[in-house]
Amino acid sequence: MAGRFPQRPTRTTVRGGHVAVPGGVPRQGVVAGRRRTWVPEGALDLGLVLGPLRRGPGDPTFRATPDGSVWRASRTPVGAGTLRVALRGGVVEAEAWGPGAEWLLDQVPAVLGASDEPEAFAPRHRIVAMAWRRRPGLRLTRTGLVLESLIPSVLEQKVTTDEAYRAWRLLVRQFGEPAPGPVPGRMSVMPGAREWALIPSWEWHRAGVDDKRASTILRAVRVAARLEEAVGMSPVDARARLEVVPGIGPWTSAETVQRSHGAADEVTVGDLHLPGIVGFALAGDRNADDSVMLSLLEPYAGQRHRAARLILLSGRVPARRVPRMPRGDIGRL
């Protein structure tokens, strides 16, 4: 029976950035947008590449549809846009709508990992090698958009993922704008910098966002243009610029550049679970801290983020010994 059915996603594999993208028949009778095709070199798994961009199953900016397409609504430097990508016979078919359509189509190769170098990776542990062989289509996305990854990363600071996903969903739906094009269901483009800055304090509260995280986002959007300039910098320099903003630390900057820059070596430190997962997978040490994790990942210098993702996707995690972190809802206070 092994291999007959697809592997069921686990909490860890989902965190590793995997979205199920079913194959199917293309939808008929939709309004055509601007189009382009692109032929990737080597294997490509849309669910693995684009999975880290989805912030929860109810993310209003992301959809995976039964016809095998992935839809994303983004705020580009030239305006809102919706991108649909599908893989048919080894060819990526892309279609886009809205003022940002051309910009999104130009970014398709980068978003799907064309600038990534998976061939530079060499597994040093059996568990990593097995995950690497099972995931030949894994590439690291590069969106070229900083705020799009920074704001939801700030929302994820010091709270459960459910709380962060709920806040992102509520704020984007209420203060964003409808995604252009014939989108599946209800999709929205995240608010622009000005719209984020104008959100009343009580709406942050209703979304369950405490003052510390809300204030960090407000400080970031006030210098949005300077932060977006970080796309043209190296990941290290980009992180330094992000961390100039009070409230943005190493955890948040790493989570951001992993997506905006496709940074293969930027490891998330300061995480509650990742050191223990990496320590358990590579050395049987479930109590590993950041220093131990970085030491274990040292053989993967230059590719440490990829190694960590493969470990997460392997599904090898220590058994839970403590209750789940309680979910709070300050909106009820």
- The per-residue pLDDT for range 156-195, each reduced to its tens digit, is 999 999 999 999 999 999 999 999 999 999 999 999 999 9
pLDDT at residue 151 is higher than 80: yes
- The per-residue pLDDT for range 60-97, each reduced to its tens digit, is 999 999 999 999 999 999 999 999 999 999 999 999 99
Residue of higher predicted confidence among 210 and 29: 210
Residues 6 or more apart in contact with residue 232 via CB below 8 angstroms: none
pLDDT at residue 31 is higher than 60: yes
Using the 8-state DSSP alphabet, how is residue 229 labeled? G
What's the CA gap between 191 and 183, in Å, rounded? 18
In the predicted model, what is the mean pLDDT of the chain?
A: 91
8 band by pLDDT with thresholds 50, 70 and 90: very low
Find the range with the poorest average confidence among 20-24, 192-196, 239-243: 20-24
Strands 79-88 and 91-97: antiparallel
Strands 188-189 and 34-38: unpaired
Residue of higher predicted confidence among 9 and 222: 222
What's the CA gap between 271 and 322, in Å, rounded? 17
Write down the pLDDT at residue 11. Answer: 45
- Report the percent of the chain where pLDDT is more than 90: 85
Residue of higher predicted confidence among 26 and 149: 149
Burial of 308 (0-12, 13-18, 19+ CB in 10 A): buried
Write down the pLDDT at residue 147. Answer: 98
- Residue 24 is encoded by which pair of tokens? 């199917």
Find the range with the poorest average confidence among 2-6, 46-50, 276-280: 2-6
Write down the pLDDT at residue 23. Answer: 64
285 band by pLDDT with thresholds 50, 70 and 90: very high
Strands (E), 221-317: none
3-state DSSP percent of the chain in helix, strand and coil, to 5: 45, 10, 45
- Residue 197 is encoded by which pair of tokens? 């800055």
CA distances (Å), origin 95, targets 24, 79, 227: 17, 16, 28
CA distances (Å), origin 322, targets 11, 276, 305, 325: 16, 13, 27, 9
Number of H helices, E strands in the chain: 16, 7
Write down the pLDDT at residue 5. Answer: 32
**Residues 118-122: what's their mean pLDDT?**
95
Based on its alpha-carbon atoms, the radius of gyration of the chain, rounded to whole angstroms, reads 19
pLDDT at residue 318 is higher than 50: yes
- The per-residue pLDDT for range 322-331, each reduced to its tens digit, is 556 566 666 6
Task: Write b or e for each residue in 28-42: b if 16 or more Cβ atoms lie within 10 A of its Cβ, otherwise e.
Answer: eeeeebeeeeeebee
What's the CA gap between 78 and 127, in Å, rounded? 43
Find the range with the poorest average confidence among 14-18, 213-217, 264-268, 324-328: 324-328
